[in-house]
Amino acid sequence: MRPQTFSWTCSACALDWVLKSTGLVAPSHTRLETINQIGYPENINPTWGLMDASGPALREVYASYDQGTEQGWLDFDTVYELAQRTTGQMSGSAWYHWIALRGVTGAALWIANSAPGYKGIYDVLTQTDFERLGPFSVVLLK
C-alpha cells in the first residue's frame, strides 16, 4: 500500500485499498475521491480523522457499491479466522489507526498499512500487537 500523505487519512487509505483490491472501483479511483465518499468534513477531517471508530461511514461507502458488511469489536482469533476468507478494515482504539486486512501469514494477520512503522507495525499484526493496540473495531465484507 502506498503511504498516506496526511496523518488523518488512514481510514480512507485502508478503504481505498479494499475497494481497489476487490474490484469495486477502478485502479484510477483516487484517495481524494474516497475521502469525499466517506463524507468530508462531517465524517472524516484533519482534526479527528474518522469521526466514528465503529465505521458507519465506511460501511455506507461499501453499501453504495452494493457490498454488504458486518462490524464488530472482535478478538484476535475471530479476526484471524475471518481474514482467511474475506477482507475488510480495522482500527485499534489504543492505536487510533485504520488498516486493511490482506489475509493471514503464519500465526499473524497480514495487513495493508498506510503508515508503515507506526507504533512498530509494518505489514504483519501479531496477536501480541493486537492485544497491545486494541480493542479493534473491524468492518468486514460479507
Predicted pLDDT of residue 57: 98
Domain limits, the chain = 7-141
Predicted pLDDT of residue 12: 98
Written as tens digits, the pLDDT of the chain (142 aa) is 999 999 999 999 999 999 999 999 999 999 999 999 999 999 999 999 999 999 999 999 999 999 999 999 999 999 999 999 999 999 999 999 999 999 999 999 999 999 999 999 999 999 999 999 999 999 999 9
pTM, rounded to two decimals: 0.97
Q: Which residue bears the cell 465524517?
A: 43
Predicted pLDDT of residue 97: 97
Predicted pLDDT of residue 104: 98
| CATH number, span 7-141 | 3.90.70.10
